[in-house]
Structure 1
Amino acid sequence: MLFSKFSGGRILKTGIAVFLTALICLALEWPAIFAVITAIVTIEPTASDSIKKGIVRFPASVIGAAYSMLFTAWFGNSAVTYAISAMLTIFTCHKLKLDAGILVATLTAVNMIPFTDAQFFDSFLVRLGTTSIGLAISTIVNLLILPPHFGKIIIDSTSALLTNSATLLKMVFADVVKGKKKKGTLDLFQRVFKDLEKAEQFCHFQRQEWKYHKHSEKEMQKVHYEHKRLLVIRQILFHLGNIIHAPINNKRNHLKNSKEIIAVVDSLALMLADRSNDKARNHDALIANLLQYFWELKNTPIKPGHFTAETMILYEVLALNELVEKLLKIELMKK
């Protein structure tokens, strides 16, 4: 829902950019296909990305057009012309570190070949003109029409991540107590991790967008606090990942305090899923008991480099508790 709303604005801007680009080219009696291709690939999530990549795509398109005209003059409209033009365009753009423009440059090179008559230099100049139009129109559209606001998407994404992290937390420790690893737990872990990366990307987009559009201090604060929460969620997933991939076998490693651990996990999950919820009455007492037991286990003589599964699990629970406490502090600061 959130991502489809974001994509919908981009689709509309692409349509507007293509329409205006084609309208101008047809009015000038220039081939619109090259300008339209440039306009389509230049519409980026933010105006900043459109400008940065547009600066790269223009010289890349010039290189593709130059190779296309050169080899068309030598070999005509042949398979050799297509192959050499494409390969040299990709090679040259890569060597000149114009990688963001390789796709549009290569498409330009191969598309120009069948549309070129004997006027090779004129065709080259027209190509520069159409490229400029496509770049300019798409950048202007990205700047002025439907400027993206990622704040709401970021907030909703973070809320969903916290809820799913709470579910994942309970599933992971349910597997630990049973001594079995379920595929559904790993699938949820991977899905939550991907959603986290998307949310972090939206934070990056929003910061880039602020360079070109007005914004209030309140908007900046909201995104700042959401980004802080996302960093903590990443740490939570790191610790959950440690448990998921740990070699735990309940036949050999019995958790003496499994009931207390699950009670703490349930309390932590509740705090994650419902940020307005206070701690369970006995939460601090349970943490104190686990902490004391953890130090007792840690001080038990063992072989160097060998830790029991119970010691590891207790460490991860205590680490997760610290992170959830950190989330609560961020929530208080936000309010």
Structure 2
Amino acid sequence: MLFSKFSGGRILKTGISVFLTALICLALEWPAIFAVITAIVTIEPTASDSIKKGIVRFPASVIGAAYSMFFTAWFGNSAITYSLSAMLTIFTCHKLKLDAGILVATLTAVNMIPFTDAQFFDNFLVRLGTTSIGLAISTVVNLLILPPHYGKIIVDSTAELLANSAILLKMVFIDVSKGKKKKGTLDLFHRVLKDLEKAEQFCHFQRQEWKYHKHSEREMQKVHYEHKKILVIRQILFHLGNIIHAPINNSNNNLKNGKEIIAVVNSLALMLADRGNDKSPDHDALIANLLQYFWDLKNEKIMSCHFTAETTVLYEVLVLNDLVEKLHEIELTKK
């Protein structure tokens, strides 16, 4: 749901690019298929990416067209022509570091073979023309029509990440208290990680868009603060992952401060799920007790370089507390 608006805009821009590209090619009586393929793959999430990858795709398509014409001249419309054109296009593009253009170059190379007549050089020139039309139209459309604004998507993504991280936090420590690992906890962990990667990608897209479209200082600040929170959420997930992947068995659920830990976790979960929530009244006192107990345990095990299950859990709770408080500091700075 968060990304439907973004996807819808991209679909519409693809449709417009294909229509205009085909219209121009048909008016020139050139085969539209090659230009349309180029237009489709050149529509990127940002105008910056369209321009950068377009610069790579043009020479890659030239290479594919050249191989296609060369082998068609030698072997005609045969299986060996398709095979050699595809393989050498991929090999050459890779060697020349034109990897972003490999797909479109290979597709158009093999598509040219059945449409080629005896005028090989003329066909090659037409191919360059159709490629140029597809690249130009899709880039202009990406620049001028429905320029994406990722700010709202980023804000909504961050809110959803915080809510799901709160749920995950409670699930992880329920597993610890019971000495069991549940598949649902691991599944949610991986899902939140994927959502985090998408949110970080949208932050990257927005920064790229600012190079080509007007934006206000307020818009920049909003994305900046959301990105800072996303970075802290990544740290939170890292430490939750440490607990999830730590060895847990029935002997681990006998923590001396188990009730205090669960109380702290519940308080942290509330703070994560609703940024308006303050910590519980006894939160700081509980943290102080856990911190003292943690150092007492460490002093007892000073000769050992390994954390016990108990010290590991305590350490991660204390780190998670610092990270959640850091999130609140970011929220206060934003205001």
Q: Residue 305 in 1 paired to residue 305 in 2?
A: yes
Residue number in structure 2 paired with 1:112: 112
Residue number in structure 2 paired with 1:177: 177
Separation in 1, partners of 2:253, 2:121: 77
Residue number in structure 2 paired with 1:225: 225
Residue number in structure 2 paired with 1:161: 161
Residue number in structure 2 paired with 1:45: 45
Residue number in structure 2 paired with 1:268: 268
Separation in 2, partners of 1:135, 1:301: 65
Residue number in structure 1 paired with 2:214: 214
- Verify the 8 A CA contact 2:9 2:146 in the aligned structure 1: yes
Separation in 1, partners of 2:252, 2:174: 17
Aligned-pair RMSD on alpha carbons? 0.8
Residue number in structure 1 paired with 2:279: 279
Q: SS state of the match for residue 201, structure 2?
A: helix
1:85-100 alignment runs, 5 A limit: 85-100=85-100
Separation in 2, partners of 1:6, 1:301: 54
1:1-335 alignment runs, 5 A limit: 1-251=1-251, 254-301=254-301, 304-335=304-335
My pick for the range that moved more, 172-181 or 299-308, is 299-308
Separation in 1, partners of 2:106, 2:218: 44
Once the two structures are TM-superposed, the CA of residue 307 in structure 1 deviates from its matched residue by 2.1
Separation in 2, partners of 1:250, 1:74: 73
Aligned residues: 335
Once the two structures are TM-superposed, the CA of residue 305 in structure 1 deviates from its matched residue by 2.7
Q: What amino acid does structure 2 have at the position aligned with 1:132? A: S
Separation in 2, partners of 1:253, 1:112: 67
Separation in 1, partners of 2:182, 2:249: 13
- Verify the 8 A CA contact 1:253 1:308 in the aligned structure 2: no
Once the two structures are TM-superposed, the CA of residue 252 in structure 1 deviates from its matched residue by 5.4
Q: What amino acid does structure 2 have at the position aligned with 1:286? A: L
Q: What amino acid does structure 2 have at the position aligned with 1:322? A: D
State the identity %: 87
- Verify the 8 A CA contact 1:53 1:100 in the aligned structure 2: yes
Q: What amino acid does structure 1 have at the position aligned with 2:263? A: A
Q: What amino acid does structure 2 have at the position aligned with 1:289? A: N
Separation in 2, partners of 1:308, 1:22: 67
Once the two structures are TM-superposed, the CA of residue 174 in structure 1 deviates from its matched residue by 0.3
Separation in 1, partners of 2:191, 2:76: 51
Once the two structures are TM-superposed, the CA of residue 301 in structure 1 deviates from its matched residue by 3.2
What's the TM-score, normalizing by structure 1? 0.99
Q: What amino acid does structure 2 have at the position aligned with 1:53? A: K
Separation in 1, partners of 2:305, 2:205: 44
Separation in 2, partners of 1:191, 1:252: 26
